[in-house]
Structure 1
Amino acid sequence: MLLLNANRVVPRECLINAVWGAQSPPTSRSQVHICISQLRHKLAEALHDGHGIETQPYGYVLHIEPGDLDVEVFRQKTAAADLAQDRGRLEQAVELYRAAVALWRGPALSDLESEVLRGAAAQLDEERIAADEKRIELELRLGRHRALVHELTGLVVRHPLNELLNGYLMTALYRSGRQADALASYQRTRSRLAEELGLEPGRELRALERAILRHDDSLVADGDVPCRSWDGQHGRP
C-alpha cells in the first residue's frame, strides 16, 4: 500500500483494511505500528539518506526518489514509447515498450493475499498487457510476423479471451503462410468465448476471419495492421 501510494499519506485505517479487511483484531493499530517500525529499519539501508517512512498524524508516507520504483520507470518508458510512436519512430517505440515490460518479474503483487490489493494488481497487469499489445502491433507493422508467432501463441494461452491478441496471432500466422492455423486459432477463440461467456467473437475478429478466408490483400499490405485500432467489447477482459 505504501509503495502503491508513494510520496502520499496512506491513512492507518487503509493499511488495517488492506491486511485484515473487516475482521481486524483489537491489536491491529499496534501491529501496524510494529510492522512500520520494522519496515522503516529495513528500508533505511536500501533507500537514499533522508528518505523512508514518515509518520503523519493519521497515517504514513513512504518517500522515494524518482526512479526508485519499477512501476514509475515502467510508466515513464511506456509514455516515451507512445511519444516515439506518435512521431513515427517505430523502432524506438518497440525498444521502449520492450524495456518497460522487461522490468516485470511476474504478475503484479502475486505473493500478497489482500482483497484491497487485487484491484490495484489487476490495473497493473492491464498496463503490462497494454504495453505488449502496442509493441506487437508495431512489430507486425515492421514485418516481424514470423518472429512473433511463438510469443503470441504463449500470450493467447495466458489471455484466451483477449480478442486483440488473438487477432494479432491470426494475422502473424496468415502472413507466415499458415492460413489453416490462423483459422484454427479463430475457432478456438470462438469456442472459448461461447463456453465461458456465451458470446460470439466481436465484429472486428469476425471480419478478420472473413478476410483470411478470401485472402484479402489488406492482410499482407505494408502499413496498418488489420484490427490495429481495435479495442472490441471483449478484446481485453
Structure 2
Amino acid sequence: MFGFSVLGSLRVHSGDHVVPIPSRRQRVVLAVLLLNSGQTQSVDRIAAAVWPSEGPKNPENQIAICVHGIRRKFAGRGMPESLVRTDPGGYSADVAPDLVDTGRILALTATAAELDRAGLVEEAAHRYRQALALWRGPLLQGLDVPALAPESRWWAEKRVDVVEQLARLELALGRSREVLSDLTALVAEHPLRENLQRLLITALYHSGRRADALHAYFVAQRDLRAGAGIDPSSELRRLHSDILNDVTPSVLAVA
C-alpha cells in the first residue's frame, strides 16, 4: 500500500518504506499535482511553482524530465507509474483522496462536523483528534514554493479551525486542563481571534483558575484594542461578566 503526505515535509510511502525524492524540482512538481489530485495542472502552472522567478523559456521539456524521474522513483518501489498522468496541456495525479493526508483530514473533519451536529460529542472529538494527528507540520515544510502560498495559508487556517472545534468539544467533555496548552499557544499566535480567546478564558475558569481567566480577558481586551482598534464583542464581555460574578459559563456557548 502506498500514500502521500504534504503537511510537514513531502513524503511518499510505499509499504513500510519512504520513497526518496531528493530533487527539489521533482518534489515541487509532485506537490502541485497532489494538492490538486485528479485535476489537470497546466505546464505553466507547474512551471510557476518550480521556478519562482525566471524559469526556462520552454519549460515543457524540463517538466517532462521531472515527471519521468518521479515515475521511475515510483516504479522502483512497486508503485504504478500511472499515478502521474499525462494529460492534454499538462499533468495530473491519479490518486484517491484517502491516499493523501490532506484528503484524509478533509474527510475526518467533515465526519466530525456531522457527528457534532448530531450531538455525538465524544465521537466528533475523536475524529478531530485523528485529523490533527495527521498534521506533521506546515504545508510542504522545508520546501519554499511561493506559488503555493495561498494553499499554505488555507491549511494553516484549517488547522486552527480544527483545534478550535476540538477544544470546544473537549471542554464540553470536562477536559478543560487538557486543552490549555494548545489554546495558550494558538492565542499567542492569533491574538485577534476572539473565539480562541473565549475558549481559553473558559478553559481557565473550568480548570479552577478564575484569576487567570480574568487576566486572560484583560489581555484579550488589550490586544483587540491595540491590534484592531475594537472592543471585545458582546459575547466576550458577557463571558467576562459571568466570571466576575462567578457564574459558570457554558462550555458549548463558545462555539
TM-score tier (shorter)? 0.7 to 0.9
Q: Closer, same or farther in 2 for the Cα pair 1:97/1:17, shift >3 Å?
A: same
For the pair 1:17 / 2:48, whether they are aligned, the reply is: yes
Which whole-Å CA distance do the structure 2 matches of 1:110 and 1:25 have between them? 26
Partner of residue 253 from structure 2, selected from 222, 226, 235: 226
1:53–1:62: 8 Å Cα contact kept in structure 2? Answer: yes
Q: Which amino acid aligns with 2:101?
A: D
Q: Deviation at 1:165? A: 1.4
Deviation at residue 225 of structure 1 after TM alignment: 2.2
4+ aligned runs moved over 6 Å, structure 1: none
Q: Share of identical aligned residues, percent?
A: 35
Is 1:216 the counterpart of 2:243 in the alignment? Answer: no
Partner of 2:162: 131
Residue 97 of structure 1 contacts residue 135 of structure 1 at CA under 8 Å; is this kept in 2? yes
Q: Which residue is 2:183 aligned to?
A: 152
Q: Give how far 1:47 is off.
A: 7.0
Kept in 2, the 8 Å contact 1:47–1:64? The answer is no
Q: Is the 8 A contact 1:51 1:64 kept in 2?
A: no
What is the correspondence of 1:1-237 to structure 2 with a 5 Å cutoff? 1-21=32-52, 23-45=54-76, 48-49=79-80, 51-217=82-248, 219=249, 225-228=252-255
AA at the equivalent of 2:49: A
C-alpha distance in 2 between matches for 1:39 and 1:16: 16
Q: Report if aligned partners of 1:70, 1:103 keep a CA contact under 8 Å in 2.
A: yes
Query: d(CA) in 2 for partners of 1:162 and 1:127?
Result: 14
TM-score (norm 1): 0.85
2:5 aligned residue: none
Range moving further from structure 2, 162-171 or 39-48: 39-48
The 8 Å contact of residues 7 and 64 in structure 1, kept in 2 or not, is answered as yes
Compute the RMSD of aligned alpha carbons.
Answer: 2.1
Give the length in aligned residue pairs.
224
Q: Pick closer, same or farther for the CA change 1:50–1:66 going to 2, 3 Å.
A: farther
CA distance in 2, matches of 1:114, 1:24: 14
| CA-CA distance at 1:163 after TM superposition | 1.6
Please report how far the alpha carbon of residue 203 of structure 1 lies from its aligned counterpart in structure 2 after TM superposition: 3.1
Measured at CA, do residues 60 and 204 of structure 1 come closer, stay the same or move farther in structure 2, by a change above 3 Å?
A: same
Higher relative contact order (CA 8 A, sep 6+): 2
> Given the two structures, how large is their TM-score scaled by the length of structure 2?
0.79
Of 70-79 and 111-120, the range deviating more from structure 2: 111-120
Query: Which structure 1 segments of 5+ residues have no match?
Result: 229-237
What letter corresponds to residue 227 of structure 1 in structure 2?
A: V
- Does structure 1 retain, via aligned residues, the 8 Å contact 2:192–2:227? no
Cα shift readout 1:163-213 (whole Å, capped 9, x = no counterpart)? 211111100111222121112112222223333333333332222222222
Shift of 1:48: 4.2
The alpha carbon displacement at 1:3 in A equals 0.6
Match of 1:234 in 2: none
User: What is the rounded CA distance, in whole Å, between the counterparts of 1:138 and 1:127 in structure 2?
Assistant: 17
Instruction: Please state how far the C-alpha of 1:140 moved relative to its aligned partner.
Output: 0.9
Deviation at 1:37, TM superposition (A): 1.7
